[in-house]
Amino acid sequence: MKFSIKGLALASGILWGLAMLGMGTANLIWDGYGQQFLQTMSSVYLGYHATRSIAEVIVGTLYGAVDGLIAGAVFAWLYNQFAQQGV
């Protein structure tokens, strides 16, 4: 069985982007909610700051979507390589 690289990349990108959007939006609504998570993500994503603003929520969502897209594609490609070799 092989993974669709495009399919898994899109699914991962959408899910991680939605996770960042959800956490950022929740932090806007409830002060301090998910702050440690957002600070951790700000240490990973250059240019993203864990401040309470709509602009940062958008930046975090875009970073999450791109990161998820790349991670999903790499995962599917690696899986297909190992599945092809019968490991």
Per-domain boundaries in the chain:
5-85
Sign of CA dihedral 54, 55, 56, 57: positive
Reported pTM: 0.89
Position 84 scores a pLDDT of 84
* pLDDT tens figures, 18-36: 999 999 999 999 999 999 9
Amino acid code (one letter) for 77 = W
> In whole angstroms, what is the distance from residue 86 CA to residue 12 CA?
25
Which whole number is the average pLDDT over 42-66? 95
CA distance between the termini of the chain: 13
Position 1 scores a pLDDT of 85
